[in-house]
Structure 1
Amino acid sequence: MRAIVRRGPALLLADVPEAVPGPGQVVAKTLACGICGSDLHAVHHLEHGVEMGLRSGAADTIDASSDLVLGHEFCAEILDHGPGTAKNLKAGTRVVSTPFAFSELGPELIGFSTRYRGAFAERLVLTEALLLPVPNGLKSEAAALTEPLSVGTHAVAAANPGPRSVALVVGCGPIGLAVIVALKRRGIGPIIAADFSPARRARAERLGADIVVDPAATSPHASWSSLDVPATLAEFGLAQLSGRTLRDAVIFECVGVPGMLQNLIENAPPTAHVVVVGACQEDDRILPVIAINKQLRFTFVFAYTPAEFAETLQALGEGEIDADTFLTGEVALADTPAVFTRLETPGDDVKIVVQPWR
C-alpha cells in the first residue's frame, strides 16, 4: 500500500507492507489526517525528538534510522477486525481514536513509533477498545480535528479558569484556536488573542475572541488594567489596599519558541496563571526572581485524557465547534511532501488535511 515515509530528513511517497491487525485490533482505511507541527518538526529533527522523549522518561519506541510513517490526527473507516475483537463497531463504520497502540513496552504513539505506522498511509492498524464512532454525519475532515482540538480542551481544563477569569491566548495557530474554542465552550471571557498573522487573528475573532491584537502594533498585555486585572505590582498593591474586587489572569502560551516564557514573566500581571501549551524543543532561559516577585504560577500541559477526547468529538458532532474555521486545505497523498516543505515557512494556514484515498 502507499504511504508517506520519513526516510532520513526527507519525505517520500513509497510502498510499505500492508496493515495487518493483531489481537484486539482493526485495520482501517484512512479518510483524513491532519498535518501537525510535531510532524513538521520530526522530518528534520526526529533524532532530537527521540532524545527529548527518552530524557522525559518515555519508552524507546522509535528507531530514527528506520522508515517512519507519521500522522496521528485521523479519521478512518473500519475495514476488518483482527482476532479476539468484540466487533461492536462493524466494518464500514467511520471512527476516530486517541492515537495509541499497545506493545510489550506499553502504550506507543501511532505515527511516532517504528512498530505502529501513522495515518499518512492508505490503511493503518488501530486498537479496537479506543475507537469512537463519528457522530451525526460529521464530515471526516472535521472529525480528524478531534485530536488537536482535544489539546485545547485539556489545556483549559488544567487552567481551571473561574467566572471572573480574563484569558490571554498568545499564538493563534491550531492549538491557540483550540484553546479559544475550549474557553468559549466554558463561558470564559473576555478572551484576548494575539498573533502576527491577520488571517489567524480573523479566525480567532470568528471563533469568539473578544479582543484581537497584533503584537507588532500593540502589546497583548495592554488591556489588563481596563479589565480589572492589575497590570503591575504597584497597581496590585493599591488594589489590595483599597479592597477592590479583582479579576484574575490566565495566559495560554501557544507558540513554543525560546524567549516566550521570559517575555511572559516580565509582562504578565501579578498572580497570573501561565499555561504552557506550546512545545519549545530548544534550551531556554528564564529569570525566576521576577516570577517570584509577581507570584506567577506555571502549568505545563501535554495531550489530553480519553474523556477530554470523547468530549471534544461530541462537541464537534453537535456543532458546538466551527470546524470549517480550522480547515484551510485538503491534499492527496502524493502532494504531501510538497505541502510539508511549504509549511516549513510560517503562513496563514491552520490545518491542512491529507486524504490518502485520493
Structure 2
Amino acid sequence: MKAALWYGKNHVRVEEINEPKVTKGNIKIKVKWCGICGSDLHEYLGGPIFIPVGQPHPLSGTTAPVVLGHEFSGEVVEVGEGVTKFEIGDRVIVEPIVSCGKCPACLEGKYNLCSSLGFHGLCGSGGGLAEYTVFPEEFVHKIPEGMSYEKAALVEPMAVALHSIRIGNFKIGDTALVLGSGPIGLATIECLKSAGAKLVIVLQRKSIRQEYAKRAGADVVLDPNEVDIVEEVKKLTNGVGVDVAFETTGAQIGFDIGINSLKFEGTMVITSIWENTVSFNPNTLVFTEKKIVGTLAYRHEFPATIGAINDGRIKAEGYITKKIYLDNIVEEGFGALTGPEKKNHVKILVTPDKGLL
C-alpha cells in the first residue's frame, strides 16, 4: 500500500510499504481523509520532536522512518479477535493515543500523560497518511450518521482545543485571549464561543487569517504590528485583563503577550509545541498569582467533541481549505503549508483514494 513516511527534517516521501495485518483487539481501517497537523509541520521543519530516531519508541518498538498522519477518518474493513464494538463497514474516527495502560498516569485515566506516550502517525505504530492502518478498538469512535468523513477528520484538532479549555478551568461568562489563529487557534476560538465565553480577543497579524478568526467567532482581532495588544486587552476588559489566555503560536511574542494580558489569578494555557526555549521572569506570576499550565492532546474528549460537532454547537465550517491526493503530499501539502500561501490554509485534507477527489 501507499504511505507517507517521515525520514528526517524536510524529508517526507510517499512509498509502497506492507499493508498492516489486524491483530487481537484491533481493527483495520481503510483511510478516507487525513489532515496535516501542526505537529506534522513541526516534525517536517524542525523534527524529530515526537518521532523516535536512533532509539526505538518504547511502545511501538520502531524508529524512523515512520508513517505520518493522526487526524483521520475511515471505514472498518476487518476486525481482530475479541473486538465487540465494531463491524465491517462502520465509519470511524481514530483517537490516535498510543499509551501503555500501566503507568501511574494511565491508571488514573490520564492516558494522554502516559510515561511512554506516543501518537499514531508519529511514534511508528502506523498512521493515517496511508491506505490502511490498524488500531486498538478502545481508541476508535463511530462517526454519527449524517457526519461526513471530511468533517470527522476535524474531530481530532477540535478535541485538542476542547481539552485546553477544560485544563484552563474556563467558565461560562469568562473572557479569553487566543494567541494565533492557525488551525488550533481557530478551533480554540470556536470551542470558547460554544462554551459561553463573554469575550474572545485574538492576536493575529494582518492576513486572511484575521477573517478566519472572525468567522470562527472572535469578537475582536488585534494585530501586534498595529496596536499594543496588552493595552488593548486591558481597555476591552475594564482595565483588568482576561481570565484565560491560550497560547497557540509557539513564539516568544505570544508567550509574553499572553502572560501580560491576564488578570490577577488568571491562567495561561500553553497548547503550542515549541521548537525553541523562552525566557520570562517568574515575578510576573509571583506578584499576581497568575498561572501557566500546559495541555497535551486530549483525554476522554472525543465523544463530547463528536457530539458538539454533530449537533452544530461546534460548526467546524470553513476549516478545509484544500483537498489533495496522497501522492502529492510533499509539494501540495507540506509545500503549501510552509510556502508563500501558508497563511491562506487552515486544514489540508489528504486522501489515498483518488476517487474521493
Report the CA distance shift for 1:265/1:39 in structure 2 as closer, same or farther (over 3 A): same
Report the CA distance shift for 1:62/1:217 in structure 2 as closer, same or farther (over 3 A): farther
Question: Are the aligned partners of 1:4 and 1:121 in contact in 2 as well (CA < 8 Å)?
Answer: yes
1:138 equivalenced with 2:135 (yes/no) = no
Report the equivalent of 1:319: 312
Report the equivalent of 2:122: 112
Question: Are the aligned partners of 1:46 and 1:64 in contact in 2 as well (CA < 8 Å)?
Answer: no
Moved more, 97-106 or 22-31: 97-106
Shift of 1:62: 6.9
1:99 equivalenced with 2:96 (yes/no) = yes
Which portions of structure 1, spanning 4 or more consecutive aligned residues, are displaced by more than 3 angstroms? Answer: 44-52, 58-66, 101-108, 222-229, 262-271
User: Following the alignment from structure 1 to structure 2, what is the Cα–Cα distance between the partners of residues 295 and 201?
Assistant: 32
Report the CA distance shift for 1:265/1:66 in structure 2 as closer, same or farther (over 3 A): closer
User: Following the alignment from structure 2 to structure 1, what is the Cα–Cα distance between the partners of residues 235 and 101?
Assistant: 55
Tell me the secondary structure at the aligned position of residue 210 of structure 2.
Answer: helix
Question: Are the aligned partners of 2:184 and 2:248 in contact in 1 as well (CA < 8 Å)?
Answer: yes
> 1:142-170 deviations in whole A, cap 9, x for unaligned?
10111010011011111222344211111
Shift of 1:84: 2.3
User: Following the alignment from structure 1 to structure 2, what is the Cα–Cα distance between the partners of residues 155 and 292?
Assistant: 23
Report the equivalent of 2:105: none
Count matched residues: 336
Question: Are the aligned partners of 1:152 and 1:175 in contact in 2 as well (CA < 8 Å)?
Answer: yes
After superposition, the CA RMSD in angstroms is: 2.6
Report the equivalent of 2:351: 355
Question: Are the aligned partners of 1:75 and 1:144 in contact in 2 as well (CA < 8 Å)?
Answer: yes
1:8-19 counterparts in 2 under 5 A? 8-9=8-9, 10-19=11-20
**Aligned sequence identity (%):** 28
Shift of 1:11: 1.3
For the pair shown, the structure with the greater C-alpha radius of gyration is: 1
User: Following the alignment from structure 2 to structure 1, what is the Cα–Cα distance between the partners of residues 139 and 92?
Assistant: 10
Report the equivalent of 2:21: 20
Tell me the secondary structure at the aligned position of residue 221 of structure 1.
Answer: helix
Question: Are the aligned partners of 1:193 and 1:209 in contact in 2 as well (CA < 8 Å)?
Answer: yes
Report the equivalent of 1:195: 204
Q: 1:280 aligns with which of 267, 274, 297?
A: 274
Which ranges in structure 1 are unaligned for 5 or more consecutive residues? 232-246
Question: Are the aligned partners of 1:197 and 1:347 in contact in 2 as well (CA < 8 Å)?
Answer: no
Tell me the secondary structure at the aligned position of residue 274 of structure 2.
Answer: coil
1:80 equivalenced with 2:67 (yes/no) = no
Tell me the secondary structure at the aligned position of residue 222 of structure 1.
Answer: helix
User: Following the alignment from structure 2 to structure 1, what is the Cα–Cα distance between the partners of residues 231 and 156?
Assistant: 33
Report the equivalent of 2:2: 2
Report the equivalent of 1:235: none
Moved more, 103-112 or 27-36: 103-112
Shift of 1:101: 4.4
1:251-266 counterparts in 2 under 5 A? 251-266=245-260
Report the CA distance shift for 1:291/1:151 in structure 2 as closer, same or farther (over 3 A): same
User: Following the alignment from structure 1 to structure 2, what is the Cα–Cα distance between the partners of residues 111 and 193?
Assistant: 30
Report the equivalent of 2:326: 333
Tell me the secondary structure at the aligned position of residue 67 of structure 2.
Answer: coil
Tell me the secondary structure at the aligned position of residue 294 of structure 1.
Answer: coil
Question: Are the aligned partners of 2:29 and 2:75 in contact in 1 as well (CA < 8 Å)?
Answer: yes
Shift of 1:222: 3.5
User: Following the alignment from structure 1 to structure 2, what is the Cα–Cα distance between the partners of residues 102 and 301?
Assistant: 17
Report the equivalent of 2:110: none
User: Following the alignment from structure 1 to structure 2, what is the Cα–Cα distance between the partners of residues 133 and 64?
Assistant: 29
Kindly provide the amino acid, as one letter, of the partner of residue 186 in structure 1.
A
Tell me the secondary structure at the aligned position of residue 275 of structure 2.
Answer: coil
Question: Are the aligned partners of 1:31 and 1:76 in contact in 2 as well (CA < 8 Å)?
Answer: yes
Question: Are the aligned partners of 1:2 and 1:15 in contact in 2 as well (CA < 8 Å)?
Answer: yes
Report the equivalent of 1:244: none
Which ranges in structure 2 are unaligned for 5 or more consecutive residues? 103-115
Question: Are the aligned partners of 1:274 and 1:298 in contact in 2 as well (CA < 8 Å)?
Answer: yes
Report the CA distance shift for 1:290/1:7 in structure 2 as closer, same or farther (over 3 A): closer
Question: Are the aligned partners of 1:47 and 1:64 in contact in 2 as well (CA < 8 Å)?
Answer: no
User: Following the alignment from structure 1 to structure 2, what is the Cα–Cα distance between the partners of residues 256 and 107?
Assistant: 21
User: Following the alignment from structure 2 to structure 1, what is the Cα–Cα distance between the partners of residues 322 and 34?
Assistant: 12
Report the CA distance shift for 1:215/1:62 in structure 2 as closer, same or farther (over 3 A): farther
Shift of 1:295: 2.7
User: Following the alignment from structure 1 to structure 2, what is the Cα–Cα distance between the partners of residues 221 and 107?
Assistant: 36
Kindly provide the amino acid, as one letter, of the partner of residue 85 in structure 1.
V
Kindly provide the amino acid, as one letter, of the partner of residue 11 in structure 1.
V
User: Following the alignment from structure 1 to structure 2, what is the Cα–Cα distance between the partners of residues 248 and 15?
Assistant: 51
Kindly provide the amino acid, as one letter, of the partner of residue 347 in structure 1.
K
User: Following the alignment from structure 1 to structure 2, what is the Cα–Cα distance between the partners of residues 186 and 357?
Assistant: 36
Report the equivalent of 1:289: 283
Shift of 1:108: 3.9
